[in-house]
Amino acid sequence: MPKARKFRIRPDAGFNRPGVKVPEGGLPETGMTVIAPAANDANPAEGAEPTGRQLRMARRIAQKHGIKVASDHEAVAALRARGIDPFERSNMLELVPGETSGDAAVPAIARPAPLPAEPSAQVLDDRARAGEIMEIQRDIMRRRRRKLALLLTRLGFFVALPTFIAGFYYYVLATPMYATKSEFIIQQADTASAGASGLGGLFSGTGLATQQDSISVQGYLLSRDAFQRLDRDLGFRAHFAQPEIDALQRLEPDASSEDAYKLYERMVEIGYDPTEGVLKMEVIAADPDVSAAFSRALIGYAEEQVDNLTSRLRDDQMAGAEQSFASAEGRMLEAQTRVVDLQEQLGVVSAEAEVSNSYSQIGVIETELRAERLRLDQLNANARPNATRVQVATANIARLQQELDTLRSSLTDGAADDVSLARVTAELAVAQQDLVTRQLLLQQAAQQLEVSRIAANRQVRYLSTPVPPVQPDEPTYPRAFESTILAFLIFSGIYLMMTLTAAILREQVTG
């Protein structure tokens, strides 16, 4: 039941004014007792002194009419100057919120909703009350339908219409595109895993060992250099500039290199899986054969890039080892040539053999010399020695002694045009020792060259293609249904954010 507010009710006053019928016990349906204003609130006669309440009411009436006054009496004078009676009951009732002019004998009933100026003694029956409630419900329904219509209009304009346009493009206008998918892995040579040790051996068989190379190859395939090579080799720009391709995917004939490169980034997608070390590539084109050709060309570029990644390191390692080996080999050949020259110059193949031969000859001559001396001593031991035999023995001893002296002098002193055997032996020994040293250095250089070759082989990377590019037989794009749903979600999200932003701004402004 609606409840009315009591406005300036005097407990000691009663309804004694004519024309007002108030049932005993209060107003019907509300149960509220309405009390008439006090007698002293009546309009005072001319010349009577107004009460304090009437003065305050007069000042409020003046404020309502926009009259600025400094006191209550000044407000009464100002209102009377304008022809307004401040003590008239209708003027006082106008100060009650929601009330209009009416019978001045009945005070206003303050309530949340405006009530008629004159309370009526008519009692609302159930049927009338139900009608009022139905009218209120119908008004609420009308407002709800109006708000719902506005909401549907906004949704249709901001969400449904853009979604329909996107779906129409994907289903009708979009040119079918063919995607060729392939996968390739960058691996090390087998010698790397065989010779790896320590921390490097832990990652030799995983994708972490070639992670940096895989990322480098991925960056190269998405670079401008790869795009320019593909355009020169297979005509990337000419393919996407065909008039059969729709306007959103077609590349204009006079398009700049930047626009062509942006299209290349959209049509070539390369992803890297660090856990497995696999590079996954998808190449999109308007023709399946062209798509597969583009994919094979990019894999060839990747193989060249993999070779170039470690070629400099391999070349540096092999260059130093090969240079050391060539230097050691040249010095060994020089030492060997010196030994041969000494042998040819001295006529001695082996100094040790010559010395051994000389010593053997000296030994034989010394033996013969000793035998001749013994024979001479035997001849001289006779009383009458044979002079001829003595002379022959003496001559043999002298000849043997001369030969012995010659052999011994040849070991240390050479003739005028000859070199002593000792010098020959020393020079040959030095030359041969130098030759042996050069041979050892050559052997070490050969070993170092082999080690460098193995290390260079460890740095070798090669590209393996577990999933080769195969041309598709059906178009991969556009995915009309998925793309339309995605467009619907995007436009719905944009509309929701705009609505929330507008609501927040409205609340901030009105608050």
Give the domain ranges of the chain.
124-174+478-511, 322-458
More confident site: 214 or 43: 214
Of the candidates 174, 440, 448, the one whose C-alpha atom is nearest the C-alpha of residue 318 is 448
Of the candidates 405, 312, 301, the one whose C-alpha atom is nearest the C-alpha of residue 358 is 405
**β-bridge mates for residue 149, sequence order:** none
Q: Which two tokens stand for residue 318?
A: 């092999």
Instruction: Spell out the alpha helix ranges (H) of 10-51.
Output: none
Band of pLDDT at residue 106, cut at 50, 70 and 90 = very low
Q: How far apart are CA 218 and CA 20, in angstroms?
A: 97
Q: Which amino acid is at 166?
A: A
Mean pLDDT confidence for 412-421: 54
> Which pLDDT score, from 0 to 100, does residue 260 have?
92
Residue 178 is inside which H or E element, if any?
Answer: strand 178-188
Q: How far apart are CA 120 and CA 114, in angstroms?
A: 14
Say which range, 65-69, 85-89, 186-190, has the weakest mean pLDDT.
186-190
Backbone phi, then psi, for 128, in 5-degree steps? -65, -40
- Strands of 371-505 (E only): list them: 461-467
CB 365 within 8 A of CB 406: no
Q: Which two tokens stand for residue 399?
A: 């000849």
Mean pLDDT confidence for 9-15: 47
How does the average pLDDT of the chain come out, rounded?
77
Q: How large a percentage of the chain has pLDDT more than 70?
A: 71
Band of pLDDT at residue 71, cut at 50, 70 and 90 = confident
Mean pLDDT confidence for 76-91: 79
Q: Which amino acid is at 288?
A: P
Q: How far apart are CA 241 and CA 463, in angstroms?
A: 33
> Which pLDDT score, from 0 to 100, does residue 76 have?
85
**Is the pTM here over 0.75, yes or no?**
no
For the ranges 45-49, 236-240, 395-399, the one whose mean pLDDT is highest: 236-240
CB 216 within 8 A of CB 305: yes
Q: Is 285 helix (H, G, I), strand (E, B) or coil?
A: strand
3-state helix, strand, coil in the chain (%, to 5): 60, 5, 30
Q: Look at domain 322-458 and name its CATH class.
A: mainly alpha
Q: What is the dihedral of CA 423, 425, 429, 435, to 10 degrees?
A: 100
CA torsion through residues 400, 403, 409, 410, sign = negative
**β-bridge mates for residue 416, sequence order:** none
CB 237 within 8 A of CB 260: yes
Band of pLDDT at residue 24, cut at 50, 70 and 90 = very low
> Which pLDDT score, from 0 to 100, does residue 14 have?
42
Predicted confidence (pLDDT) per residue in 292-332, tens digit: 999 999 999 998 888 877 777 667 767 777 888 888 888 88
